[in-house]
Chains A and B, each alone.
Chain A
Amino acid sequence: MEEIRRRDPRREWVARNRLHPEHASVLAALGGIGGEGAASEWLGPLGILRKNPHAVGFMGPHGIKRIDRSGAQQGGRAAGAARQATHDSRHNVIIESPAFLVAVVPELPGGRLSSHDKDLLGLARRLADVDPEHPGAVLAVVFGEHKEDAFGEAGIDRLLHLSDDAYDGFAPEARLGALAAMEREWRPRHWLLPDSPLGGADLGRRLAVRLGERPATGVWRIESDPTAPLGWRCTARGAAERLDIQRSLPRVALFLAECADPVDETRHAAEPLSLSTAVPSALSRIQDLGQVAVDPAGVALAEAEFILSAGNGVRDWEGFHHAAKVLGATEGASRVVVDDGFMARDRQVGASGTWVTARVYLAIGISGAIQHLQGIQSCDKVVAINLDPGCDMIKRADLAVIGDAAEILAALVAKVEQQRGGQRDAA
């Protein structure tokens, strides 16, 4: 049993007595337990905290003793080990035989778990871990290809990945067929979906109607209630956001964003799972003809997916507008550019302009004032082209290229045009 700490009063006494012949060896032995070179604090025999001020600190590079009270730096290799431990603080959880299943259908916009999905998975964990003796497992269903590699960190125990062409695009009937097959095979206790327009809002309602359940929609809070059938009560928004509906949690529920905190202390197995029977292919009466090209200039800046933003480093405005057209990006601008009259006021990104939510934000010659960085907080990927390698935008960017903005942009446009031209020739 390692939890019981056995004290050796004699050794402690030797450790306190610096004149004792065995002092050094005892200190080393104690240090091995305590982690630091010598114990600087210990509990005395009478329960009083004793301190050895001489053991505090570490030898600095010039042979001078240094004391860092912040605890961030403790010298030597011990610091590295401690840093490692804080980075990897999640503990692994493996649920071998779950008592029940909580099925989650994340939306995965752009192939990754959105923050809405992560909140929902955090809530699913709460439902699954209600009884620590008999924990349930969170089962997530992923349709089509994805780019996510942290399913376990998000709290998923079992992962059903259905990669088939039938699920691509708008295919509610095929997806519903797969969910119905899951229901037949595993019969999850809960079905949780995000109430987001593209993902769960449509599929969740279809699923609820198919299963004959009356779903709770727009749920933003749950609390445990032993009198309810499933042991939970929920609060849902109704009547165009003007009513709060308190009801017991039904089997199928659609949740708003920020309904719970995402999982951040555990890492789960995300074991791959597959259906034992093939999903019957449904004859679809809805045919997806693919996305339509929309004029990116007509898309509101706040909801544009791909923004090409200009800063003070842009000189060649013709080239910039041409690049936006070729790349199919919505144009944005920094405050300086708008003030100088190169772009319209409604294109300004940042604190006094628009807070953008783009998936990819391409910043050309923007140094990154804090007001601007606030505006791009919720952007997924930031790409910066700038001459100054020390600017704040480079620190924020996922990919930064140091160089002349006009040249790099022209090269990028040439590559895209060349590629598109090649495709046209092939076709």
Chain B
Amino acid sequence: MQPERQGIEVAVLVSVGRHPTTGRARRADQDARGLEMALGLEDRLPDSRIHLLHAGPSSLENASALRGYLGMAAGDGTTLDTLTLLEQAEDDDAIPALAEHLAATLPQLVITGTRAEQGEGSGLLPYALAERLGWPLVNGLAAVEKVENGVATLLQALPRGQRRRLQVRLPAIFSVDAAAPAARQSAFGPARRAGIEATPVTAEPDHEQTEWQLTPARKRPKRLKIVKAASARDRFKAAAAKAEGGSGQVLADVSSEQGAEAILALLREEGVLPR
């Protein structure tokens, strides 16, 4: 009987990001967080392997941005030294190529960012991959607690800083967003030394996208507070009004016990008390 292998195969899908102020190509923030999580997993589970995967054109600018990810794996014994680039044109559909590659290599875990920083940025890619491969998908990953016997226990980030614990059977796709731990710095030297393995793939151009009109984002109009009032007096009152709840319940002349009871009932109804 073979000893059980502890490590797992992790594929991290990375994209070329865009710096929000300078507009230069960089490693995408969410994808870098995903790689950070994968590197953390590799530390805890020996014999794990990380594969970096990107589908897109191999221009000089893209390559330098993608090397930003490789520079994160510098130093103490990581196995990550190459990035697989599925070479296709700028406006080709990345989903079939990625799905094909993943189906061929069969990693146990795929980690992606939630949304791309350029292009359509609809955040649809992990969902499309999950549907094609038939794997479960968890969004908003905050931490992977453990991986045992093909089952991952992880924490999902909820709004308002809350966390939820989930158990997922592998293989699975996880997407990370800004709730995941921040990515480490990228080291320049290892990034230069690492290799990019480019394999050309045949891909379909994204026809639908050519019909869209893309413009720089306009500032969204702020919603005005519209007061529907029949008379000028009502309008004036609405504009000059101080806070008036009016409908609230006021408990005066009650004992502190009764007051506490009423507050407790409200807190319990809202479900904010920890169980």
| Interface pair B248/A400, CB less than 8 Å apart | yes
0 or 1 for each of B144-172: is its CB under 8 Å from A? (1 = yes): 00000000010110111111111111001
What residues make up the interface of A, taking CB atoms closer than 8 Å to B?
A: 70-72, 86, 109-110, 147, 169-170, 172-173, 197-198, 201-202, 205-206, 208-210, 214-218, 220, 237-247, 258, 261, 264, 285-294, 298-300, 303-306, 327-329, 359-360, 362, 368, 370, 373, 380-383, 385, 389, 392, 394-404, 407-412, 414-416
- What DSSP secondary structure best describes chain B's contact surface? mixed
| Residue from B231, B243, B252, B259 within 8 A of A370 (CB atoms) | B243
Question: Which B residues touch A206, using CB under 8 A?
Answer: 127, 131, 137
The chain B residue sitting closest to A218, CB to CB, is B122
Q: How far is the CA of A241 from the CA of B21 in the complex (A)?
A: 12
| Interface pair A289/B118, CB less than 8 Å apart | no
Q: How far is the CA of A304 from the CA of B162 in the complex (A)?
A: 9
Output the least CB separation between B157 and chain A (Å). Answer: 8
| Interface pair A392/B243, CB less than 8 Å apart | yes
Output the least CB separation between A363 and chain B (Å). Answer: 11
| Interface pair B128/A416, CB less than 8 Å apart | no
| B46 in contact (CB, < 8 A) | no
| Interface pair A288/B233, CB less than 8 Å apart | no
Output the least CB separation between B146 and chain A (Å). Answer: 12
| Residue from A209, A290, A299, A403 within 8 A of B160 (CB atoms) | A299
**A-B contact number at CB 8 A:** 251
| Interface pair A395/B244, CB less than 8 Å apart | yes
With A206-B127, A245-B120: A286-B168 Cβ-Cβ less than 8 Å: yes
| Interface pair A303/B160, CB less than 8 Å apart | yes
Contacts A/B (CB < 8 Å), 22 sampled: A70-B233, A71-B230, A72-B233, A86-B230, A209-B128, A210-B131, A214-B208, A238-B119, A239-B117, A239-B119, A240-B20, A246-B215, A288-B166, A289-B166, A290-B164, A328-B272, A329-B272, A360-B272, A389-B252, A396-B248, A399-B251, A411-B256
Which of B6-14, B63-71, B73-81, B217-225 lies on the face that meets chain A? B217-225
| Interface pair B213/A294, CB less than 8 Å apart | no
| Interface pair B243/A239, CB less than 8 Å apart | no
| B106 in contact (CB, < 8 A) | no
Question: Which A residues touch B166, using CB under 8 A?
Answer: 170, 286-289
| Residue from A292, A298, A329 within 8 A of B165 (CB atoms) | A292
Which of B37-45, B195-203, B260-268 lies on the face that meets chain A? B260-268
- What DSSP secondary structure best describes chain A's contact surface? mixed
Question: Which A residues touch B214, using CB under 8 A?
Answer: 238, 243-246
Q: How far is the CA of A298 from the CA of B179 in the complex (A)?
A: 14
| Residue from A70, A261, A304 within 8 A of B231 (CB atoms) | A70
Q: How far is the CA of A327 from the CA of B153 in the complex (A)?
A: 28
Question: Which A residues touch B122, using CB under 8 A?
Answer: 205, 215-218, 238
Question: Which B residues touch A396, using CB under 8 A?
Answer: 243-245, 248
Question: Which A residues touch B172, using CB under 8 A?
Answer: 285
Question: Which A residues touch B245, using CB under 8 A?
Answer: 382, 395-398
| B273 in contact (CB, < 8 A) | yes
The chain A residue sitting closest to B140, CB to CB, is A197
The chain B residue sitting closest to A380, CB to CB, is B270
What residues make up the interface of B, taking CB atoms closer than 8 Å to A?
A: 18, 20, 115-124, 127-128, 130-131, 136-140, 153, 155-156, 158-169, 172, 177, 208, 211-218, 220, 223, 226, 228, 230-234, 242-254, 256-257, 259-264, 266-267, 269-274
Question: Which A residues touch B212, using CB under 8 A?
Answer: 245-247
| Interface pair A239/B116, CB less than 8 Å apart | yes
Q: How far is the CA of A147 from the CA of B269 in the complex (A)?
A: 9
Output the least CB separation between B105 and chain A (Å). Answer: 21
With A209-B127, A243-B217: A402-B253 Cβ-Cβ less than 8 Å: yes
Question: Which B residues touch A397, using CB under 8 A?
Answer: 245, 248, 250
| Residue from A173, A290, A408 within 8 A of B256 (CB atoms) | A408
Output the least CB separation between B79 and chain A (Å). Answer: 28
Question: Which B residues touch A237, using CB under 8 A?
Answer: 217
| Interface pair A240/B121, CB less than 8 Å apart | yes
The chain A residue sitting closest to B167, CB to CB, is A287
Q: How far is the CA of A291 from the CA of B158 in the complex (A)?
A: 9
The 9 closest A-B pairs by CB, nearest first: A411-B260, A401-B259, A299-B161, A70-B233, A328-B274, A306-B272, A412-B260, A246-B213, A289-B165
Question: Which B residues touch A215, using CB under 8 A?
Answer: 122, 124
Q: How far is the CA of A298 from the CA of B160 in the complex (A)?
A: 11
Question: Which A residues touch B138, using CB under 8 A?
Answer: 286
With A220-B220, A360-B272, A408-B260: A400-B167 Cβ-Cβ less than 8 Å: no
The chain A residue sitting closest to B117, CB to CB, is A240
With A209-B128, A239-B117: A408-B259 Cβ-Cβ less than 8 Å: yes
With A242-B18, A244-B215: A202-B267 Cβ-Cβ less than 8 Å: no
Output the least CB separation between B150 and chain A (Å). Answer: 11
| Residue from B18, B223, B263 within 8 A of A239 (CB atoms) | B18
| Interface pair B259/A291, CB less than 8 Å apart | no
Q: How far is the CA of A389 from the CA of B246 in the complex (A)?
A: 13
| Interface pair A383/B266, CB less than 8 Å apart | yes
Given contacts A286-B168, A289-B166, A328-B273, 9 further A-B contacts (CB under 8 A): A71-B230, A205-B122, A244-B215, A288-B166, A292-B162, A383-B263, A395-B243, A396-B248, A399-B249
With A170-B156, A244-B218, A285-B136: A412-B264 Cβ-Cβ less than 8 Å: yes
| Interface pair A292/B251, CB less than 8 Å apart | no
The chain B residue sitting closest to A214, CB to CB, is B208
Question: Which A residues touch B20, using CB under 8 A?
Answer: 240, 242
Output the least CB separation between A392 and chain B (Å). Answer: 6
Question: Which B residues touch A293, using CB under 8 A?
Answer: 274
Question: Which B residues touch A399, using CB under 8 A?
Answer: 248-249, 251, 262-263, 266
Question: Which B residues touch A404, using CB under 8 A?
Answer: 256
Q: How far is the CA of A41 from the CA of B149 in the complex (A)?
A: 86
Output the least CB separation between B65 and chain A (Å). Answer: 15
Question: Which B residues touch A287, using CB under 8 A?
Answer: 166-168
Output the least CB separation between A73 and chain B (Å). Answer: 10
With A110-B271, A209-B128: A415-B260 Cβ-Cβ less than 8 Å: yes
